[in-house]
């Protein structure tokens, strides 16, 4: 089964090129220097109505502090309507070069003829990351990423940041550099994690903020211990800026059809994530561990306040 290029608990603690800054991100946002800041982030908006409904509810209740949108997906116009009605929502773009589901596919936002190296023989994105690494031309990658950002703006979405679906743009130093280049060109914060291979060659600027830790459930997490995985992760969270990535949805007929024959990150998986982050135990763990939820809008403020 295709999987994101993330382990279950990603903890990169190598030195950042920005480590010499005198004030921490927490201090620049008015918190103590040792504060635990967490971006609680919902991925994959636009994939399905079920995904959208669950994510909108979590955003509206403050359960999650950020989310990102897949612009090539069929339900993206529903997200655009939500974004217009909720201008304060922290909505970024989940830049997409793969279409992992067995029977539910999408292709490029840019014209097919202009990004041929990104598409398979049927004209859609490949199901997994290795074909992108093997075949994608960097010029086509850049063209498609720009097209996705421009489409979002054309639909009235002003993205707060960009990140990468299935970690595709983190798979090689060249892809990572292209991702950073496009983010800079549009003036957007971007997800990057300390210790990412190739990050030292990605031409970071003094205003780029690199996340200390990313937490995400992987296929190795026992399904019966799903909630405990997340509660343990909150307990272990260190001072600094972390991101917890969740995939929210309802285990209904629509999402079951979208994710058919693909249990990892499938319909039941997304229902479990939704139930965990909306549970009283999860909210209590945030309080008990003195974790402060922030979003990418806050990172932009911190970058400007350095």
Q: Would the pTM count as exceeding 0.75?
A: yes
Closest CA relative to residue 211, chosen from 248, 175, 174, 164: 164
What the chain holds in terms of domains, given with CATH numbers, is 9-304 (3.20.20.370)
Distance CA 204, CA 278 (A): 36
Mean pLDDT of 117-144: 98
- The pLDDT tens digits for 112-123 are 999 999 999 999
Report pLDDT digits (tens) over 67-92: 999 999 999 999 999 999 999 999 99
Q: What is the pLDDT of residue 4?
A: 56
Please report the pLDDT score of residue 21 as a whole number: 47
Q: How far apart are CA 269 and CA 275, in angstroms?
A: 10
Distance CA 292, CA 193 (A): 19
Q: Give the Cα separation of 114 and 99 in Å (integer).
A: 18
Mean pLDDT of 218-223: 97
What pLDDT score was predicted for residue 126? 98
At 22 the pLDDT is 75
| Cβ contact 137:130 at 8 Å | no
| Residue 11, pLDDT above cutoff 80 | no
pLDDT of residue 198: 94
């Amino acid at each position: 089964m295709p999987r994101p290029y993330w382990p279950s608990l990603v903890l990169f603690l190598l030195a950042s090129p920005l480590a010499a800054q005198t004030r921490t991100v927490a201090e620049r946002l008015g918190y103590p220097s040792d504060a635990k800041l967490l971006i609680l982030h919902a991925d994959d908006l636009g994939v399905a109505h079920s995904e959208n409904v669950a994510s909108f509810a979590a955003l509206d209740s403050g359960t999650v502090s950020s989310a990102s949108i897949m612009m090539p997906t069929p339900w993206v116009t529903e997200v655009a309507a939500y974004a217009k009605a909720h201008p304060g929502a922290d909505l970024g773009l989940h830049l997409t070069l793969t279409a992992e589901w067995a029977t539910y596919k999408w292709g490029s936002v840019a014209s097919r003829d202009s990004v041929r190296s990104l598409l398979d023989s049927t004209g859609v994105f490949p199901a997994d990351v290795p074909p992108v690494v093997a075949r994608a031309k960097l010029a086509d990658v850049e063209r498609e990423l720009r097209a996705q950002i421009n489409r979002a703006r054309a639909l009235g979405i002003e993205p707060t940041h960009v990140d990468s679906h299935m970690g595709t743009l983190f798979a090689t130093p060249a892809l990572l550099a292209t991702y950073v280049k496009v983010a800079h060109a549009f003036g957007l914060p971007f997800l990057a994690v300390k210790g990412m291979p190739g990050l030292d060659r990605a031409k970071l600027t003094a205003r780029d903020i690199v996340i200390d830790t990313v937490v995400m459930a992987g296929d190795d997490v026992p399904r019966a211990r799903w909630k405990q995985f997340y509660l343990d992760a909150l307990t272990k969270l260190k001072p600094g800026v972390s991101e917890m990535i969740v995939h929210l949805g309802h285990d209904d007929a629509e999402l079951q059809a979208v994710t058919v024959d693909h249990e990892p990150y499938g319909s039941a998986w997304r229902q479990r994530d939704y139930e965990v982050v909306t549970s009283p135990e999860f909210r209590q763990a945030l309080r008990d561990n003195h974790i402060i939820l922030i979003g990418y809008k806050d990172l932009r403020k911190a970058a400007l306040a350095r």
